[in-house]
Protein backbone atom coordinates (compact mmCIF):
# COMPACT_ATOMS: atom_id res chain seq x y z
CA UNK A 1 0.00 0.00 0.00
CA UNK A 2 2.85 2.41 0.86
CA UNK A 3 4.51 1.71 -2.52
CA UNK A 4 1.25 2.46 -4.35
CA UNK A 5 1.03 5.84 -2.58
CA UNK A 6 4.58 6.73 -3.58
CA UNK A 7 4.03 5.61 -7.16
CA UNK A 8 0.79 7.56 -7.48
CA UNK A 9 2.02 10.76 -5.84
CA UNK A 10 5.46 11.20 -7.37
CA UNK A 11 5.90 9.08 -10.46
CA UNK A 12 2.48 9.64 -11.95
CA UNK A 13 0.14 7.12 -13.48
CA UNK A 14 1.34 3.59 -14.06
CA UNK A 15 2.09 3.24 -17.79
CA UNK A 16 -0.78 1.70 -19.73
CA UNK A 17 -3.42 2.66 -17.17
CA UNK A 18 -5.56 5.77 -17.31
CA UNK A 19 -5.77 8.50 -14.71
CA UNK A 20 -9.36 7.46 -14.06
CA UNK A 21 -8.19 4.13 -12.65
CA UNK A 22 -5.91 5.91 -10.22
CA UNK A 23 -8.54 8.49 -9.27
CA UNK A 24 -10.87 5.57 -8.54
CA UNK A 25 -8.44 4.43 -5.83
CA UNK A 26 -8.67 7.87 -4.19
CA UNK A 27 -12.46 7.83 -4.37
CA UNK A 28 -12.46 4.48 -2.58
CA UNK A 29 -10.10 5.88 0.06
CA UNK A 30 -12.34 8.93 0.58
CA UNK A 31 -15.36 6.70 1.05
CA UNK A 32 -13.37 4.59 3.50
CA UNK A 33 -12.25 7.63 5.53
CA UNK A 34 -15.73 9.15 5.69
CA UNK A 35 -17.44 5.73 5.93
CA UNK A 36 -19.91 6.90 3.29
CA UNK A 37 -20.38 3.99 0.91
CA UNK A 38 -23.94 4.86 -0.07
CA UNK A 39 -24.15 8.38 -1.55
CA UNK A 40 -23.74 8.37 -5.33
CA UNK A 41 -25.28 11.72 -6.35
CA UNK A 42 -23.32 14.22 -8.45
CA UNK A 43 -20.68 16.08 -6.49
CA UNK A 44 -20.61 13.73 -3.49
CA UNK A 45 -16.92 12.91 -4.00
CA UNK A 46 -16.05 16.60 -4.36
CA UNK A 47 -17.89 17.37 -1.12
CA UNK A 48 -15.95 14.57 0.60
CA UNK A 49 -12.67 16.06 -0.68
CA UNK A 50 -13.63 19.48 0.67
CA UNK A 51 -14.84 18.06 3.97
CA UNK A 52 -11.61 16.09 4.44
CA UNK A 53 -9.53 19.04 3.16
CA UNK A 54 -7.79 16.77 0.63
CA UNK A 55 -6.34 17.66 -2.75
CA UNK A 56 -6.91 15.59 -5.86
CA UNK A 57 -4.11 13.25 -6.89
CA UNK A 58 -3.28 15.51 -9.83
CA UNK A 59 -2.97 18.52 -7.51
CA UNK A 60 -0.81 16.58 -5.04
CA UNK A 61 1.46 15.48 -7.89
CA UNK A 62 1.73 19.04 -9.18
CA UNK A 63 2.52 20.36 -5.68
CA UNK A 64 5.17 17.65 -5.16
CA UNK A 65 6.85 18.62 -8.45
CA UNK A 66 6.76 22.32 -7.53
CA UNK A 67 8.22 21.65 -4.06
CA UNK A 68 11.04 19.64 -5.62
CA UNK A 69 11.75 22.45 -8.12
CA UNK A 70 11.69 24.95 -5.23
CA UNK A 71 14.37 22.87 -3.49
CA UNK A 72 16.45 22.74 -6.69
CA UNK A 73 16.15 26.52 -7.17
CA UNK A 74 17.17 27.18 -3.56
CA UNK A 75 20.15 24.79 -3.77
CA UNK A 76 18.69 22.24 -1.34
CA UNK A 77 19.32 19.35 -3.78
CA UNK A 78 23.10 19.19 -4.14
CA UNK A 79 22.98 16.48 -6.82
CA UNK A 80 21.20 18.80 -9.29
CA UNK A 81 22.86 22.06 -10.25
CA UNK A 82 20.07 24.47 -11.17
CA UNK A 83 22.35 26.38 -13.56
CA UNK A 84 22.47 23.31 -15.84
CA UNK A 85 18.69 23.09 -16.21
CA UNK A 86 17.17 26.49 -15.43
CA UNK A 87 17.67 29.73 -17.35
CA UNK A 88 16.24 32.80 -15.58
CA UNK A 89 14.12 35.25 -17.53
CA UNK A 90 15.01 38.91 -17.30
CA UNK A 91 11.89 40.98 -16.73
CA UNK A 92 11.36 43.67 -19.33
CA UNK A 93 7.70 44.49 -18.86
CA UNK A 94 4.65 43.12 -17.14
CA UNK A 95 1.93 41.61 -19.29
CA UNK A 96 -1.29 40.54 -17.62
CA UNK A 97 -3.77 38.44 -19.59
CA UNK A 98 -7.49 39.10 -19.22
CA UNK A 99 -9.60 36.22 -17.97
CA UNK A 100 -13.33 35.80 -18.03
CA UNK A 101 -14.82 34.01 -15.02
CA UNK A 102 -16.02 30.44 -15.53
CA UNK A 103 -14.38 30.06 -18.93
CA UNK A 104 -11.30 28.30 -20.19
CA UNK A 105 -9.19 29.68 -22.97
CA UNK A 106 -5.76 29.27 -24.44
CA UNK A 107 -4.76 32.91 -24.33
CA UNK A 108 -1.54 33.53 -26.28
CA UNK A 109 -0.53 36.20 -23.78
CA UNK A 110 -0.79 33.70 -20.91
CA UNK A 111 2.69 32.23 -21.42
CA UNK A 112 4.21 35.73 -21.32
CA UNK A 113 2.45 36.71 -18.10
CA UNK A 114 4.84 37.72 -15.31
CA UNK A 115 3.57 36.76 -11.88
CA UNK A 116 6.93 36.89 -10.10
CA UNK A 117 10.59 37.67 -10.65
CA UNK A 118 11.89 34.08 -10.30
CA UNK A 119 10.68 32.88 -13.69
CA UNK A 120 12.58 30.54 -15.99
CA UNK A 121 12.68 30.10 -19.75
CA UNK A 122 10.57 27.23 -21.02
CA UNK A 123 11.83 24.90 -23.67
CA UNK A 124 9.82 24.16 -26.79
CA UNK A 125 9.41 20.36 -26.68
CA UNK A 126 9.13 18.47 -29.96
CA UNK A 127 8.05 15.12 -28.54
CA UNK A 128 5.29 14.15 -26.13
CA UNK A 129 7.80 12.45 -23.81
CA UNK A 130 9.91 15.58 -23.52
CA UNK A 131 6.79 17.71 -23.05
CA UNK A 132 5.88 15.58 -20.02
CA UNK A 133 9.41 15.56 -18.58
CA UNK A 134 9.99 17.05 -15.14
CA UNK A 135 11.64 20.35 -16.00
CA UNK A 136 9.47 21.26 -19.01
CA UNK A 137 6.22 20.45 -17.24
CA UNK A 138 7.19 21.95 -13.88
CA UNK A 139 8.73 25.19 -15.18
CA UNK A 140 5.43 25.97 -16.89
CA UNK A 141 3.62 25.53 -13.54
CA UNK A 142 6.38 27.41 -11.68
CA UNK A 143 6.09 30.46 -13.94
CA UNK A 144 2.35 30.59 -13.24
CA UNK A 145 2.87 30.78 -9.45
CA UNK A 146 2.00 33.90 -7.52
CA UNK A 147 4.84 36.02 -6.12
CA UNK A 148 4.19 34.98 -2.51
CA UNK A 149 4.85 31.31 -3.34
CA UNK A 150 7.80 31.72 -5.72
CA UNK A 151 9.63 34.10 -3.37
CA UNK A 152 9.08 32.04 -0.21
CA UNK A 153 12.09 31.59 2.07
CA UNK A 154 11.43 28.12 3.45
CA UNK A 155 9.95 24.89 2.13
CA UNK A 156 7.17 25.08 4.73
CA UNK A 157 6.16 28.60 3.70
CA UNK A 158 6.28 27.54 0.04
CA UNK A 159 4.02 24.55 0.72
CA UNK A 160 1.52 26.65 2.64
CA UNK A 161 1.49 29.26 -0.15
CA UNK A 162 0.82 26.47 -2.66
CA UNK A 163 -2.06 24.95 -0.78
CA UNK A 164 -3.46 28.23 0.48
CA UNK A 165 -3.73 26.77 3.98
CA UNK A 166 -2.07 28.16 7.09
Q: Is 44 helix (H, G, I), strand (E, B) or coil?
A: helix
CB neighbour class for 69 (10 Å; exposed up to 12, middle 13-18, buried from 19): buried
Domain ranges of the chain: 2-52, 57-163
The whole-angstrom separation of Cα 141 and Cα 6 is 21
Least trusted range by pLDDT, from 3-17, 55-69, 80-94, 139-153: 3-17
* 117 touches 83 (CB < 8 A): no
- The residues that bridge with 88 in the sheet, in sequence order, are 120
For 52-87, the pLDDT digits (tens) are 777 777 888 899 999 999 999 999 998 988 888 888
Q: What is the pTM of this model?
A: 0.67
- Bigger pLDDT: 53 vs 152: 152
Amino acid sequence: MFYIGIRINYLGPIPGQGINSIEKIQRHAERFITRDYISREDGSIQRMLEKLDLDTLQQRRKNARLVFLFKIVRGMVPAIDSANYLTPITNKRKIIPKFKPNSESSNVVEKFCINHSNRFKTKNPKTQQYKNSFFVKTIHDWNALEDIAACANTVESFKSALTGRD
